[in-house]
Amino acid sequence: MSNILDTKSIDLSAMRHSCSHVLAQAVLQMFPDAKLGIGPTIDNGFYYDFELPRTLIPEDLPLIEKRMSHIVKQNQRFVSKNEPTAKSITFLKKINQPYKVDLAQELKKTGEKEISFYENVMQDGKVVFVDMCKGPHISSTSEIGPFKLTHLAAAYWRGDEKNAQLQRIYGTCFATREELEAHLKNLEEAKRRDHRKLGKELDLFTFSDLVGPGLPLWMPNGAVIAEELETLAKEEEFRAGYVRVRTPHLTKGELYEKSGHLKHYKASMYPPMKIDNEEYYVKPMNCPHHHMIYSARPKSYRDLPLRLAEYGTCYRFEDSGALFGLMRVRSLQMNDAHIYCTEEQFEEEFLAVVRMYLKYFEIFGITQYVMRLSLHDPSGLGEKYVDEPELWKKTENMVKKAIQHAKVPVVEVLDEAAFYGPKIDVEVWSAIGREFTLATNQVDFAVPKRMGLTYVNKDGQEKAPLVIHRAPLGTHERFIGFLIEHFGGAFPVWLAPVQIRIVPVSDQFASFAEELRLKFFDAGLRVEVDSAAESVSKKIRNAEMMKIPYMLVVGEREQKEDTLTVRNYATKTQDVFTFDAFLGKVMKEVKGRVLS
């Protein structure tokens, strides 16, 4: 855990920020007329936007890097300086930096009296570069660690396509050469593992212009993974005492008026279908539907905790610019459930949910994770958050206490709660160190009350239950997107779309291959024979391209001796088994959901 959080520490950030100033200085050396945009730090690096007399090409980057190295060696000091706003604007105009003028005038409007600058000062005291900047910076360019410019991109000034288009240069910078190299290697690996690229190569999912953006269609190979994840979730949820429900994907708007979602959530929803003087919506979440199931029959304390689970598909109208492969979509098939419980039951239920998270992490080999506890900001009460200051306090304390007992890594953030209560996002890191927000866990003290959900307690009084919203496997879309990268497309046997591929060395062994296939198939395995009119070596390459866990090349020896020569994709080894021994091994791996 700790080393990952460390890389976000302020020192690295200051160093990267200083590196972006060095980049800007280098670009100004090459193009004295360059106009500077902004140059912030980002995860693992920095960028800077420029207006330049010509379009940069990748070959420019090493030349810029060379100039940057030179600046680093000059050991320039970073010196902070505040100037009155009006004077600053005059200065920025003078040095012909219109974008900086734009920023300064913005600050003037908000009433800023002074503007902060950082100068780069040579050892002899000469100022060679100055940028409008709040800092912080490191003290001298010589403290900058190993860096690399990674790629170019286009960017609009202030992200608005009505503004001028600038050229963006991305770079990365680390404290040590080893870290930089590991990062660059991870970047390469991330490209190879890109879920959009592998999704296509492995035939997992597709998009259709006729169906619409952000609405993935799961091909047979991808549907296998979704199916296996659902089976896992259903098994675990059955064991944990959940019951399942099924609810329609549509509802009248009235339901969301009553739940309060229309007020707080409408911007993220598909627009209504209007018919018979009613407005119908596709559901952006399952909770109000589940609440209708809860309230369909009177409840007593004996009925609680009630855990209603559904792999419900929800629809959210994400901005088309925000859509990204499976990671940002408009259809979300969620591993959803709502736990209705009393206050006394809350902690136990919450901890059981955390245990379920941990079990899944183990199954998928996720070793790095953190819980991000989002709390409300009292200034948003009545607007962004339901106006119940006392209940917010009480519930947040209850959640904090429960998390402490769960003994899992946690960070707290303000003003990111759900409108009805505190939210716990679970962030995980993939095998190559990329961060994903996978699962959510929310505590809702407001909507159940609002919708009139009750139970009769031991003393015969009507009370509103608490509701825990939880989705440990998140959505199929995002979780499978994560798994593709995490496993680099080489899924463990139980998840692999095709578990075994049989390659007969010639047509002569086609019927033997088919016999074998049927034996595996009858055991419930996903197995296929490659009977294409291609060479054996081509077929072997194809099976490897598809990252199929086990490949059996079968010919005379296999047929005569009743043995199997098995190529293992994960270990890159080849072993000889009897049929029964191999089937036993595979079945054990599948049933045990063993990681390869």
Q: Which residues bind a second copy (CB under 8 A)?
A: 203, 206, 208-212, 215-220, 222-224, 226-227, 234, 238, 243-252, 254-255, 258, 270-276, 278, 280, 282, 288-289, 292-293, 296-297, 302, 308, 310, 313, 315, 317, 320, 330-331, 333, 476, 524, 531-532
In the complex, minimum distance from the CB of residue 206 to a second copy, in angstroms, rounded to a whole number: 4
C-beta separation of 18 from 171 below 8 A = no
Residue in the structure block whose two tokens are 């990674």: 150
Q: Residue 94, class by beta-carbon neighbours within 10 Å (0-12 exposed, 13-18 middle, 19+ buried)?
A: exposed
Q: Residue 171, class by beta-carbon neighbours within 10 Å (0-12 exposed, 13-18 middle, 19+ buried)?
A: buried
* Closer by beta carbon to a second copy, 88 or else 251: 251
Calpha distance 243→240 (Å, rounded) = 9
* Closer by beta carbon to a second copy, 199 or else 492: 199
In the complex, minimum distance from the CB of residue 316 to a second copy, in angstroms, rounded to a whole number: 11
* Closer by beta carbon to a second copy, 209 or else 390: 209
Q: What SS3 state is found at 307?
A: strand
* Closer by beta carbon to a second copy, 331 or else 442: 331
Instruction: Write down the H helix ranges in 489-562.
Output: 510-522, 536-545, 556-561
In the complex, minimum distance from the CB of residue 310 to a second copy, in angstroms, rounded to a whole number: 8
* Closer by beta carbon to a second copy, 214 or else 489: 214
In the complex, minimum distance from the CB of residue 77 to a second copy, in angstroms, rounded to a whole number: 51
The 3-class secondary structure across 341-372, one letter per residue, is: ECHHHHHHHHHHHHHHHHHHHHHCCCCCEEEE
Q: What residues does 444 pair with on adjacent strands?
A: 467
C-beta separation of 596 from 363 below 8 A = no
In the complex, minimum distance from the CB of residue 209 to a second copy, in angstroms, rounded to a whole number: 8
* Closer by beta carbon to a second copy, 272 or else 555: 272
Task: Report residue 344 as tokens.
Answer: 């006394």
* Closer by beta carbon to a second copy, 253 or else 422: 253
* Closer by beta carbon to a second copy, 283 or else 567: 283
Q: What residues does 172 pair with on adjacent strands?
A: 45, 148
Q: Residue 6, class by beta-carbon neighbours within 10 Å (0-12 exposed, 13-18 middle, 19+ buried)?
A: exposed
C-beta separation of 366 from 387 below 8 A = no
In the complex, minimum distance from the CB of residue 292 to a second copy, in angstroms, rounded to a whole number: 4
Q: Residue 408, Cβ neighbours under 10 Å: how many?
A: 17
Q: Residue 427, Cβ neighbours under 10 Å: how many?
A: 17
In the complex, minimum distance from the CB of residue 522 to a second copy, in angstroms, rounded to a whole number: 9
* Closer by beta carbon to a second copy, 359 or else 372: 359
In the complex, minimum distance from the CB of residue 500 to a second copy, in angstroms, rounded to a whole number: 15
Q: Residue 552, Cβ neighbours under 10 Å: how many?
A: 24
Cα–Cα nearest to 550, from 527, 532, 523:
527
In the complex, minimum distance from the CB of residue 40 to a second copy, in angstroms, rounded to a whole number: 30
Calpha distance 493→497 (Å, rounded) = 9
* Closer by beta carbon to a second copy, 121 or else 245: 245
In the complex, minimum distance from the CB of residue 207 to a second copy, in angstroms, rounded to a whole number: 9
* Closer by beta carbon to a second copy, 224 or else 473: 224
Give the full edge-to-edge strand order of the sheet including 306-315: 243-244, 306-315, 331-341, 466-471, 435-444, 423-429, 369-375, 410-414
Calpha distance 570→378 (Å, rounded) = 52
Give ∠ CA 93-95-99 in degrees, rounded to 5: 60
In the complex, minimum distance from the CB of residue 535 to a second copy, in angstroms, rounded to a whole number: 17
In the complex, minimum distance from the CB of residue 294 to a second copy, in angstroms, rounded to a whole number: 10
* Closer by beta carbon to a second copy, 270 or else 324: 270
